[in-house]
Amino acid sequence: DVVMTQTPVSLSLAIGQPASISCKSSQSLVHSDGKTYLSWILQRPGQSPKRLIYLVSKLDSGVPDRFSGSGSETEFTLKISRVEAEDLGVYYCWQATHFPLTFGSGTKLEIK
């Protein structure tokens, strides 16, 4: 199985500060069709997960443009340009290039 390693485990940031979360995969996530099936989701406390970014860098509809995704092959990054209160929760990366689909272990963002 592809192992998705996220760092850091947790972040504590003040409103307005930037955030950066790393996700590294144990294998290249480039599919034979040329696409890279790497997504980022946010699970706010007590809520279901919600996707923010798919195909490495494409923002889902309604996701603020302070979120951005980048990376290639085995190294990926989610950035928040300026953290807001509503951004707290646990962020997961996940891959759908290889069977089985696998999730990272999560990064908890707390607001100071």
Partner 1 sequence: QIQLVQSGPELKKPGESVKISCKASGYTFTDYAMHWVKQAPGKGLKWMGWINTYTGKPTYADDFKGRFVFSLEASASTANLQISNLKNEDTATYFCARLFGVDAWGQGASVTVSS
User: Is residue 87 helix, strand or coil?
Assistant: helix
**75-98 per-residue burial string, b: 16 or more CB within 10 A, e: under 16:** ebbbebeebeeebbbbbbbbbbbb
If the CB atoms of residues 17 and 105 are measured against partner 1, the closer one turns out to be 105
Cα gap 2→5, rounded to integer Å: 10
Indicate whether 106 belongs to the interface with partner 1 (CB under 8 A): yes
Indicate whether 61 belongs to the interface with partner 1 (CB under 8 A): yes
Indicate whether 48 belongs to the interface with partner 1 (CB under 8 A): yes
CB of 48 to partner 1, least distance (A): 4
Query: Which of 22, 98, 103, 111 touches partner 1 by CB under 8 A?
Result: 103
Indicate whether 2 belongs to the interface with partner 1 (CB under 8 A): no
